[in-house]
Structure formats: C-alpha cells, structure tokens
Amino acid sequence: MVLALIAQAAGTVEDLAKNLTNQVVETDLVSTTATTAARSVETSTLWNHILTADPIVQLTLAILVVFSVMCWAIIFYKFFQLKSAQRRAQRFWQKFSGTIDMVEIANTKAITKGPVYQIFNTGHITLGKIKKTTNKMSDFHRDILAQRMNQSREEELYKMEQYVNFLATTAAAAPFIGLFGTVWGILTAFMAIGQANSSSLATVGPYISEALIATAVGLFAAIPAVIFYNYFVSKIRLISKVIDLFMSDFMIKSEREIST
C-alpha cells in the first residue's frame, strides 16, 4: 500500500515537472516570436518612413547612400593597395641596403614591383646613361638623377594618394548633408503642425523620424570616411619616409658606383 502511494506521488510530481517545462518552453517561444515580430515591425516602419518621406529628404538620403557606397569601395581598394605597397617598399629597401651591386638588384625578379622599385628602376636607367658619358659624378649629373627620381617619386605618391581625398570630402560634407535633411524634416514637421492645428506626436512623429534618419545616414557615411582617411594618410606618410630613405641611400651608392 505504501509503495503504491509513493509510486502515485512520484508520477504526480513527474507530471507537474513536465507541465512546468512545457509552460517554460511555450513562454520562451512566445517571447521569441514577439521579439522577432517587434523587430520586423520596427524595420518595416523604418522602411515605410523612408519610402513615404518628403522628396527632398529622399534625395538627401540617396546622395548619402551614394557617398557611403563609394567610400567603402575606396576603403577596400586603398587598404589592400597600401598594405601591398608598404610590404614591397620595406622588402625592397632591405634588399637594396644589404647589396652593393645594383645590377643584381635590378635582375632580381622577386622584388620587381612596388613604389620603391619603380623609383629605383628610374634611377638605375638614368645612372646607366650617365655612366656612358662620364666616369665622375658632377653636380649637373646629380641634379639630373635627383630630378628623375623625384619625378618618379611624385608619380608613385600620386598613385597612393588617388581617391583618398574623396574620403576627406565625405567626412566633411556628409554630416552637413545629413543636417540639411534634418532641418528640412523639422521644417516639414512645423508645416504639418500649422496645417493640422495640432502639435501631437502623431502629427509630427513621422517628420521627426525622417529628420533623424537623415542625420543617422550622414554620420554612417562620415565616421568611417574620417577614420580610414587618417589611417591611409599615416600609411602613405610611412611609405614616403621609406622612399626618402631609399633615395638617400641610392644617391650614396650612385656616387660610389660611378667613380669606380
């Protein structure tokens, strides 16, 4: 008898535990579904605000989106370009510093790329022409060699600096473009208040939302632009230092090579 009562009680406890577990699971499912639905409604509402916004605000958003897309395209392109340029510049300069024979460096196929190599190639060709005409480096020859190498240096720096200024332009202009959309949205809100003779949130809410969206999109375009602009400028400055050190080293070796 006692064993039967114990078994019955155990079965009752087990049923209660199962019911409680099912309730918890159902509660979690309901909560998750509600959260997902709320997010979906928020996204749909935000998109509806954009689609039904004032044409001026829509034009502002379109301009900012174009700026943002172009900035990210430039960011990815310049990131890999400058990373490769820095690696190749440092590798070539190390090879050049540890070698006396310039012909050996010119024939090394593993390092025939990068900004420093292009400057070296220009200097090496010019030096070869000078060696055919004289066996002593004069001031005139030094000026010619330095001028040709500086010209090649400017060309390589131009390649690295190309499109970077667009990031600076976006960083400076995007917040103001977004601010224009904000001001226009607030102006539209005040016009709606005057027409409806009501300052309730239901009247001005959509227009204020448009204004804030314009501000957010403007910041979304400007913040990455200013961060990566500063990053790329520092990278270019570093590569420029490597180029200057290489050019000084090249001029010293040129003096030694042409006098031997």
pLDDT in tens, 186-224: 777 677 666 666 555 555 666 677 777 778 888 888 999
pLDDT reading at 226 higher than 90 = yes
Residues 163 and 229 in one domain: yes
How many domains does the chain divide into?
Answer: 2
Residues 235 and 137 in one domain: yes
* Burial degree of 229 (CB within 10 A; 0-12, 13-18, 19+): buried
Residues 21 and 134 in one domain: no
- In one-letter notation, the amino acid at residue 219 is L
Residues 173 and 47 in one domain: no
Kindly report, residue by residue over 106-122, the tens digit of the pLDDT. 766 656 678 888 888 88
pLDDT reading at 46 higher than 70 = no
What predicted TM-score, i.e. pTM, was given to this entire model? 0.73
Q: CA-to-CA distance for 179 and 221, rounded, in angstroms?
A: 13
pLDDT reading at 133 higher than 70 = yes
Q: CA-to-CA distance for 60 and 65, rounded, in angstroms?
A: 9
Residues 151 and 253 in one domain: yes
> Residue 236's CB: how many other CB atoms inside 10 A?
18
Task: Indicate the Cα dihedral angle 181, 187, 189, 190, nearest 10°.
Answer: 170
**Structural domain span for residue 47:** 1-52
Nearest Cα neighbor of 74 from 152, 155, 156, 171 is 171
Residues 48 and 60 in one domain: no
Residues 42 and 91 in one domain: no
DSSP state, 2?
H
| pLDDT reported for residue 167 | 94
* Burial degree of 37 (CB within 10 A; 0-12, 13-18, 19+): exposed
For the record, the structure tokens of 20 come out as 């409680």
> Residue 207's CB: how many other CB atoms inside 10 A?
23
Q: CA-to-CA distance for 204 and 186, rounded, in angstroms?
A: 8
Residues 30 and 118 in one domain: no
Residues 130 and 222 in one domain: yes
Residues 69 and 7 in one domain: no
Residues 181 and 221 in one domain: yes
DSSP string, 211-238: HHHHHHHHHHHHHHHHHHHHHHHHHHHH
69-72-74 Cα angle (round to 5):
110
| pLDDT reported for residue 22 | 52
Q: Band the pLDDT of 36: cuts 50, 70, 90.
A: very low
- In one-letter notation, the amino acid at residue 2 is V
